Structure 1
Amino acid sequence: MMEWVDWSNALERAVCWLDDVHWQISRGDDLQLALESLFRGLTLLHRKWDREEWTRFCLEIVRTHPLREVIHQCPYTRHGFEKPRGYAGDAVLIDYLYEEHQGPLSPMGRDIYHFLWNQSGPRSVRERRELLAQEIDATAERVHQPRILSVACGHLREAEHSRAVAEGHVGDFIAFDQDPDSLEVVAQQHPSHLVRPVCGTVRSILMGKTSFPEMDLIYSAGLYDYLSEAVASRLTRLLFGMLRPGGRLLVGNFATRTPDAGYLEAFMDWWLLYRDENQVRAFASEINPEEIASVEQFRDSVQNVIYMVLTRR
């Protein structure tokens, strides 16, 4: 497939390939087959080309190609590209991956969105929501009225799937995020004040201006994909230091070779930092090993997200 990816004129050939995909869609060919070809091709190019060549392809070729306007009929893709809240991966975008959007869409936009919703990356996001809900419930079974902190919480949809939250078995649940609009949604979804929205930045934690001591569970599953190694390590140390003995810190990061990466970068201008197990394990490098009771690492069922759980001694 696409044997030209290593040729000297690969970028020129890529334009012809996009032309072909656009022509297939425009003439009413099987949309599913065309999208599968596009998705597989972008995955291959993302893995084969060096960073400079791939970035040039995304910024100079895809952005000006007529196929982009067709693909952007998908509301999820268009929202990701336009970034109406000023940053990538906002909570509204993630909501597109939880439940299929039912608003007014063109037939083409609906079909593209449905195709993407069923890819492995969105499946990992939905599985992440369930994993976090299970972690909240397990903490409530382990500790009476636990203190829980979600960092970069977004809309905190996992709390809506938690039995412990629904039954009031959580003592203090802090939803921490920089986006006041996201926190307004959290407050509306949890009017009993069991969940406490707190507006603030990761920078304030890194600078020592914000801290939440004596926590039983701290998690941040969608933040680390944007952090440099140095920031990720420092933040992990500071969050770990907020735990009580026996408390758990859970973090996640999308893994290298995640198949959705090519599409996210080319058509959504959504650039994550993908890592392997050793790089995720290095998040704990600034913590005194004697303070760590255990380290767990695992991937989700489709192998896209690497999780690490640190338990404090």
Structure 2
Amino acid sequence: MFTITPAGTMNRLFVDGPDASDYPRINDYFNRAYQRDPENFSREFESLRREHEAFHSLQSIAGYCCAKPFGYAGDFRLIDRLYTHYIGSGVHIARWDAFAQAQPAAVAVRNRKTYFIDLMKANLPANVLNVASGPARDVLEFFGYCPDAAVVIDCLEYDAHAINYAGSLLKGNCRVRFTQQNILTWKAEGTYEMVWSSGLFDYFTDGVFVRVLRKLLGCVAPGGQLVIGNFSDENPNRAFMEVGMQWFLHHRSPEQLIDLAKQAGAEAWNPEVKSEPAGVNLFLHLTKPA
């Protein structure tokens, strides 16, 4: 067992599952062990993962993310589990899922859905490009708030399973159109008053980030805005995500996001970085000169 925390204490938590009062201790355990020796901690954790279903079962949040049933971490089903406060069955899984759902990173994912809806309600753009739209629950809930909104939302998504899932949620809403294509090879047709991408760019290296951002700049209509989400480099749950869930992202600071925007040629677009209330998900805002 790990030496950074008393073995008996952590054994109890992993066997029984944590209560809310245990959450600070668990986060401290992950953060200190990962900071001390990330490679060794990750390797040792694999034996613990095999012992406890909350870390290997598809019915749990951490286990599902680690298994990557669609080939990648953070897929549409995982994101929708976070959006909908999913809790798996069984006491052990339920306690660990409650822990995962209570963490700032999970709260931030839910907040970015609200962030999109608030942006849409404030601006009511005529057309929107939603890049890597995933489950599209943010789109669904926006139309729940604004059922008569005169807006067309084009959802660009690589995963056909995600498109099918989102389509089942939206039930044939004719104002939402799906395109299955890789953003790296996709070619834009026309421009949009708003381009939104909440959860794609933190999977990109800096070079790919700049390349895709440069492509999306050409999709924005004069006076329109481009908004890109990226996890902050101050994410307090990074250790749990990377060890417990095998979910790796390129975390960035506001300064890094602005620098990447400038590298892509958006210096005149008034680059600005905001965040959702948890401060974990950052949003790069770019406004095209009118």
Q: What is the TM-score when the length of structure 2 is the normalising length?
A: 0.89
Q: Does the 8 A contact of 1:255 with 1:305 survive in 2?
A: yes
**1:252 Cα deviation (Å)?**
1.2
Residue aligning to 1:298:
274
**CA–CA separation in structure 2 for the residues paired with 1:201 and 1:68:** 37
1:43 matched to 2:43: no
Q: Does the 8 A contact of 1:225 with 1:254 survive in 2?
A: yes
Match of 1:61 among 44, 48, 55: 44
Match of 1:222 among 199, 204, 213: 199
**CA–CA separation in structure 1 for the residues paired with 2:84 and 2:235:** 22
**CA–CA separation in structure 2 for the residues paired with 1:22 and 1:34:** 13
Match of 1:121 among 97, 105, 124: 105
Q: Does the 8 A contact of 2:231 with 2:280 survive in 1?
A: yes
**1:212 Cα deviation (Å)?**
3.7
**1:163 Cα deviation (Å)?**
4.4
> Per-residue CA shift, 1:33-79, capped at 9, x if unaligned?
44432222212333x33xxx303321x20001267525326611110
> Per-residue CA shift, 1:79-110, capped at 9, x if unaligned?
0010101111001001111122266x111211
Q: Structure 1 residues 131, 289: CA separation in 2 closer, same or farther (over 3 Å shift)?
A: closer
> Per-residue CA shift, 1:138-194, capped at 9, x if unaligned?
231xx4xx1100111101111122148842424421111111111112222331321
**1:257 Cα deviation (Å)?**
2.5
1:201 matched to 2:182: yes
Q: Structure 1 residues 169, 61: CA separation in 2 closer, same or farther (over 3 Å shift)?
A: same
- Gaps of at least 5 residues in structure 2 are none
Q: Does the 8 A contact of 2:137 with 2:169 survive in 1?
A: no
Match of 2:85 among 91, 94, 100: 100
Greater radius of gyration (CA): 1
Q: Structure 1 residues 86, 66: CA separation in 2 closer, same or farther (over 3 Å shift)?
A: closer
Letter in 1 for 2:169: Q
**CA–CA separation in structure 2 for the residues paired with 1:254 and 1:237:** 20
**1:19 Cα deviation (Å)?**
5.9
Residue aligning to 2:259:
282
Report the RMSD for the aligned CA atoms in angstroms. Answer: 2.4
**CA–CA separation in structure 1 for the residues paired with 2:220 and 2:13:** 55
> What pairs up with 1:1-313 in 2 under 5 angstroms?
13-14=3-4, 17=6, 20-26=9-15, 31-46=19-34, 48-49=35-36, 53-58=37-42, 60-65=43-48, 69-72=52-55, 75-101=60-86, 105-140=89-124, 143=125, 146-163=126-143, 166-190=146-170, 191-205=172-186, 210-289=187-266, 291-292=268-269, 294-313=270-289
> Per-residue CA shift, 1:176-225, capped at 9, x if unaligned?
111111111222233132100110112213xxxx2142111001110111
**1:32 Cα deviation (Å)?**
3.7
Letter in 2 for 1:203: L
Report SS of the residue matched to 1:176: strand
- Gaps of at least 5 residues in structure 1 are 1-10
Letter in 1 for 2:178: P
> Per-residue CA shift, 1:222-271, capped at 9, x if unaligned?
01111000110111111011111011000011111211111111111111
Q: Structure 1 residues 180, 23: CA separation in 2 closer, same or farther (over 3 Å shift)?
A: same
**1:23 Cα deviation (Å)?**
3.5
Q: Structure 1 residues 249, 56: CA separation in 2 closer, same or farther (over 3 Å shift)?
A: same
Report SS of the residue matched to 2:118: helix
Size of the aligned set, in residue pairs, is: 286
**CA–CA separation in structure 2 for the residues paired with 1:301 and 1:228:** 26
Q: Structure 1 residues 302, 29: CA separation in 2 closer, same or farther (over 3 Å shift)?
A: closer
**CA–CA separation in structure 2 for the residues paired with 1:213 and 1:302:** 35
Letter in 1 for 2:285: V
Q: Does the 8 A contact of 1:22 with 1:67 survive in 2?
A: no
Q: What is the TM-score when the length of structure 1 is the normalising length?
A: 0.83
Q: Structure 1 residues 167, 128: CA separation in 2 closer, same or farther (over 3 Å shift)?
A: same
**CA–CA separation in structure 2 for the residues paired with 1:30 and 1:214:** 49
**CA–CA separation in structure 2 for the residues paired with 1:107 and 1:164:** 34
Q: Does the 8 A contact of 1:187 with 1:193 survive in 2?
A: no
Query: What percentage of aligned pairs have identical amino acids?
Result: 20
